[in-house]
Amino acid sequence: MEPIHWKYADNREVFRTVWNGETPYLSFRALEDTKMVANGFSTRMGGASTGKFATMNFSYSRKDDPEHVLENYTRIATALGVERDRMVVSWQTHTTNVRLVTREDEGKGVIRERDYRDVDGLICDIPGITLVTFYADCVPLYFVDPKHRAVGLSHSGWRGTVNRMGQVTIDAMKEAFGTCPEDVIACIGPSICRDCFEVGEEVVEEFQKTFRPHQWDQLWAKNGKPGKYQLDLWKANELILKEAGIPGEQITVTNICTLCNHEYLFSHRKCGENRGNLAAFLGIRG
């Protein structure tokens, strides 16, 4: 097995790198500690895909060989100890739409066609179902409610972050399950870091509309190029989760950047469309 030498943003022990067979994935220590869920974030390694998709791509829509994609789902399911055919996959278009997953959704996006689209968040309280969302620099948000035994998994790029996807997901869990934010264990997953995420004035202007002026210095800074800034999606999502009512000590923030670690993780900023998709996984153990 090829060793992984992560470039960490700091020395916190946020993740465990799990090797089950030949398929490695990242697991949040905070979510493991709940003893309630299977959780993971994939790498580029341990899969069946070839070429620009090498080797662990989870998207059927990027013109990878469908048999390779299905095999990748089989391998990651085995590694996580979950059922492949009970996975449910998002259809992401940078919305803040959240779907309540039911038993009728099992297998959609993996072995069955999805009969929904424009879904960037998934919530569920059914043991054995695993939620799946896609990434290649955007921010994965994991939510576990141990009191009501419910979970949520959401995709939050800069558009989702501006529109407070974290808050929207908590609200959906509250409506569906009675979730109280103070009970939630939340994690902000591997994604592009502030040092790597250059944006223009038009993006910063959108953040100015939804974040208070005293927070701006925490979220972005000019980088010396005309009209260019470095934006911190990790901090933005952390602020959103805290304002949603999740205690700070129950929020874990990633220290792994997808672009800094592009040899192990797909990064849109590095590869553009010539790549596969990573995936986040979260489900209540049966």
Task: Please give the pLDDT value at position 1.
Answer: 67
Radius of gyration in angstroms for the set of CA atoms belonging to the chain, rounded to a whole number: 18
Under 8 Å CB-to-CB from 63, ≥6 apart: which residues? none
Q: Which of 125, 96, 98, 68 is nearest to 282 (CA)?
A: 125
- The whole-chain average pLDDT of the chain stands at 97
Q: What is the pLDDT of residues 161-179, one digit of tens each?
A: 999 999 999 999 999 999 9
Q: What is the pLDDT of residues 272-281, one digit of tens each?
A: 999 999 999 9
Question: What confidence category does residue 21 fall into, taking pLDDT thresholds of 50, 70 and 90?
Answer: confident
Q: What is the pLDDT of residues 103-125, one digit of tens each?
A: 999 999 999 999 999 999 999 99
Q: How far is the CA of 85 from the CAs of 35, 107, 108, 255, in angstroms?
A: 23, 5, 8, 31
Look at residue 2 and tell me whether its pLDDT is greater than 80.
no
pTM over 0.85: yes
Task: Please give the pLDDT value at position 126.
Answer: 98
Q: Phi-psi bin for 69: left (phi > 0), alpha (psi -120 to 50), beta?
A: alpha
